[in-house]
């Protein structure tokens, strides 16, 4: 049975505190133990990062970029192994895991351009013989607290940019699937990253709270549920830290009557059930505008019933299990809630066949619920699983009103062939990321990811230029250098007197 440790100052540290169990979600079997960091172990990681900071801050941008390029090549070389590790602990199918690694690599590639990204501005002669210029400098020790659903991608949304900017980093990954973080730490070592620049502390609330209150941690990045995002934001800012905390979502897809219904159905199914719906950008509500509701639901149901559910390491599987038994049970409970609220279950994931049998795995197949009432619990609450709700609406105006009245503002999509309607939608909808005939509008790495309302606490999104700004602070220098006419050094050629 494997034991997943911490990574402090360039080496694995087994850990002396409590441990947690690691499961294979497809079988329900315990496959390992993960160390839970004590306060002293978190302090050791922060101290290692603090010691490493001055030398790393002063490392040239070209040298930093060279190490990032080497890390990028190593992750790319080992992406299959990393994806297999993710599948074994999270449960997602191999293709989903490979996609996760690919999206994380995009941010690494973006961070490789740090010499350009950190260029400042210069103004000559702002006053007589006075110049002004701006520079951006790293903060120091920064921390990332990341969720179970993307154990490689979300950390790679944070640490490549933080490290490229000259900071040192302490990662606290999810205790449910912790192995990817140690795998990445080893690749950083092979890439030539100095000891202490990247550290990992495994654990639970004890480790989280210590990072949030530690006086040497300058900034905290977080991705997870809205209640925890709010807690992280409030506690960390109370201790004087810069915070970006990304919370939950309830993403809607508005389908207008002129839309290509085959494209809309394909998109709803892939966006609703990819990674078993355990992602903050999943489409969980389809708003079908009359009169295309029946036709759209028929196409969605047909496609949903063809999804092959099975273990993540089976190449034939298209959707895997949920991450834990407790989470599976919570998601499944919404099906009974839906019936009590008057909705109709048209595809019931509780009865979906599983390749190789269910065993003790954490299985719930893709589920479609029709005639969901706006404002009901199934419509309003973040379910975070393979449950797709259909809400029938009479018009574009009703659809946009439902989206904008929601608690969250992470992502949304509209499906239409009318450019004017799409342009109006992108202007009027109150969310941070918008897709037009694109169901999961996750921006490329050179743009920034993040939502509005209860989906974001803090004012800075992750990666892209906002990520660079989050991990740096600005400094403006005003300088005057006296020329030789003011009695300085004579720079002319020597002459005979």
Residues carrying an active site annotation: 280
Rg (C-alpha) for the chain, rounded Å, is 25
Give whole-number Cα distances, 430 to 180, 400, 424, in Å: 35, 9, 12
End-to-end Cα distance, the chain: 88
Cβ neighbours of residue 360 under 8 Å, at least 6 residues apart?
Answer: 27, 28, 29
Give whole-number Cα distances, 20 to 2, 146, 494, in Å: 12, 17, 78
CB 131 within 8 A of CB 478: yes
Residue 140 token pair: 């120091």
Residue 436 token pair: 């037009």
User: Residue 411's beta-bridge partner residues?
Assistant: 433
C-alpha to C-alpha distance for 158 and 467, rounded to whole angstroms: 8
**Count of Cβ atoms closer than 10 Å to residue 286 Cβ:** 31
CB 33 within 8 A of CB 20: yes
Sign of CA dihedral 482, 483, 484, 490: positive
Residue 353 token pair: 């066949």
Name residue, tokens 């079908």: 288
Strands 433-436 and 198-200, bridge-based pairing: unpaired
Is residue 376 classed as helix, strand or coil in its secondary structure? coil
Is residue 22 classed as helix, strand or coil in its secondary structure? strand
Cβ neighbours of residue 350 under 8 Å, at least 6 residues apart?
Answer: 332, 335, 364, 365, 367
**Count of Cβ atoms closer than 10 Å to residue 74 Cβ:** 17
Is residue 45 classed as helix, strand or coil in its secondary structure? helix
C-alpha to C-alpha distance for 494 and 191, rounded to whole angstroms: 52
CB 36 within 8 A of CB 18: yes
Q: Give 257: exposed, middle or buried? Use CB within 10 Å, 0-12, 13-18, 19+.
A: middle
Angle at 360 between CA 330 and CA 275, to 5 degrees: 55
Could you give the maximum distance between any two Cα atoms of the chain, in Å?
A: 105
Q: Give 102: exposed, middle or buried? Use CB within 10 Å, 0-12, 13-18, 19+.
A: middle
CB 437 within 8 A of CB 278: no
């Amino acid at each position: 049975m494997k034991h997943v440790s911490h990574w402090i100052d360039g080496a694995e540290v087994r850990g002396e505190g409590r441990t947690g169990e690691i499961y294979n979600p497809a079988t329900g079997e315990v496959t390992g133990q993960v160390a839970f960091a004590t306060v002293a172990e978190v302090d050791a990681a922060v101290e290692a990062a603090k010691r490493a900071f001055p030398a790393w801050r002063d490392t040239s941008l070209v040298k930093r970029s060279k190490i990032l390029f080497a890390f990028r090549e190593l992750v790319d070389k080992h992406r299959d192994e990393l994806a297999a590790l993710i599948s074994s602990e999270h449960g997602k199918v191999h293709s989903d895991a490979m996609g996760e690694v690919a999206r994380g690599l995009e941010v690494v590639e973006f961070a490789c351009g740090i010499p350009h990204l950190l260029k400042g501005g210069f103004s000559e002669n702002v006053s007589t013989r006075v110049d002004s210029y701006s520079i951006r400098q790293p903060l120091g020790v920064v921390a990332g607290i990341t969720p179970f659903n993307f154990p490689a991608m979300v950390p790679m949304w944070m640490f490549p940019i933080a490290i490229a900017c000259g900071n040192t980093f302490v990662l606290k990954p999810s205790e449910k699937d912790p192995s990817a973080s140690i795998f990445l730490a080893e690749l950083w070592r092979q890439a030539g990253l100095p000891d202490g620049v990247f550290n990992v502390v495994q654990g639970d609330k004890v480790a989280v709270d210590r990072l949030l209150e530690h006086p040497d941690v300058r900034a905290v990045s977080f991705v997870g549920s809205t209640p925890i995002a709010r807690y992280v934001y409030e506690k960390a800012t109370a201790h004087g830290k810069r915070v970006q905390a990304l919370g939950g979502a309830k993403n809607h897809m508005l389908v207008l009557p002129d839309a290509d219904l085959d494209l809309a159905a394909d998109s709803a199914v892939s966006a609703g059930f990819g990674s078993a719906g355990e992602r903050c950008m999943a489409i969980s509500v389809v708003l079908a505008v009359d009169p295309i509701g029946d036709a759209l639901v028929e196409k969605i149901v047909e496609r949903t019933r063809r999804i092959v559910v099975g273990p993540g390491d089976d190449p034939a599987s298209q959707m895997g299990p949920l991450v834990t038994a407790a989470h599976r049970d919570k998601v499944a409970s919404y099906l009974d809630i839906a019936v009590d609220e008057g909705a109709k279950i048209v595809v019931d994931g509780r009865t979906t066949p599983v390749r190789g049998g269910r065993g003790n795995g954490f299985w719930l197949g893709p589920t479609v619920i029709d005639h969901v009432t706006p404002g009901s619990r199934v419509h309003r609450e973040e379910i975070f699983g393979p449950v797709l709700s259909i809400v029938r609406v009479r018009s574009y105006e009703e659809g946009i009103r439902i989206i904008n009245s929601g608690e969250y503002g992470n992502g949304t999509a509209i499906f239409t062939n009318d450019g004017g309607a799409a342009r109006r939608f992108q202007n009027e909808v109150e969310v941070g990321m918008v897709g037009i005939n694109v169901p999961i509008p996750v921006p490329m790495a050179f743009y920034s990811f993040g939502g509005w309302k209860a989906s974001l606490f803090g004012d800075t999104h992750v990666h892209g230029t906002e990520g660079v700004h989050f991990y740096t602070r600005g400094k403006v220098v005003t300088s005057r250098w006296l020329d030789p006419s003011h009695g300085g050094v004579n720079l002319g050629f020597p002459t005979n007197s």
